């Protein structure tokens, strides 16, 4: 806008005049995308198409849009897969403790829908973590038995 709206002119009239003058100057000629359909408008029945497109463009998960209790429940369900690559039991317990703290904070002041969620059993997650590590470890080669000793008179050969 190049000027302020005069007090005696209605807003609609002033805006229409600004648009008409811009058209006369050719401000709308040769715009990028002129005559092309708007992206995402081929699905008129999906009112959230632009949100889905934005999530895809940014590489984000739709889980960020969920209410807090559902996010916590999904985190608890994915926890065994998330801790599988951790190196020590202490790290696994720290991740579980962090999630349990967030669950406890939500339980003190619940927001969103009423969803049953309770603290995660750290011992159960550690047991699964140990089982996964044991299954991923290659089996140990059987011992060949004691090495055969060479006789003292044959050591030189």
Q: What is the pTM of this model?
A: 0.56
Residue-wise pLDDT tens digits, 46-66: 778 788 888 889 988 888 788
pLDDT at 41 over 80: no
User: Quick one: pLDDT at residue 70?
Assistant: 92
Please count the other Cβ atoms lying within 10 Å of the Cβ belonging to residue 133. Answer: 14
Residue-wise pLDDT tens digits, 60-98: 888 878 899 999 999 999 999 999 999 999 999 999 999
pLDDT at 4 over 90: no
Q: Which of 9, 11, 10, 13 is nearest to 21 (CA)?
A: 13
Structure token pair of residue 129: 């973590």
């Amino acid at each position: 806008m190049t000027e302020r709206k005069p007090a005696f002119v209605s807003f609609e009239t002033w805006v229409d005049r600004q648009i008409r003058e811009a058209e006369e100057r050719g401000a709308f000629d040769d715009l990028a995308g002129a005559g092309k359909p708007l992206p995402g408008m081929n699905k008129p029945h999906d009112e959230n198409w632009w949100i889905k497109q934005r999530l895809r463009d940014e590489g984000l998960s739709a889980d960020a849009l969920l209410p807090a209790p559902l996010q916590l429940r999904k985190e608890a369900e994915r926890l065994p897969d998330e801790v599988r690559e951790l190196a020590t039991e202490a790290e696994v317990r720290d991740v579980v403790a962090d999630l349990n703290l967030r669950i406890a904070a939500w339980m003190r002041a619940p927001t969103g829908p009423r969803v049953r969620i309770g603290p995660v059993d750290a011992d159960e997650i550690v047991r699964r973590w140990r089982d996964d590590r044991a299954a991923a470890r290659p089996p140990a080669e059987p011992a060949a038995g004691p090495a055969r000793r060479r006789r003292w008179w044959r050591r030189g050969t």
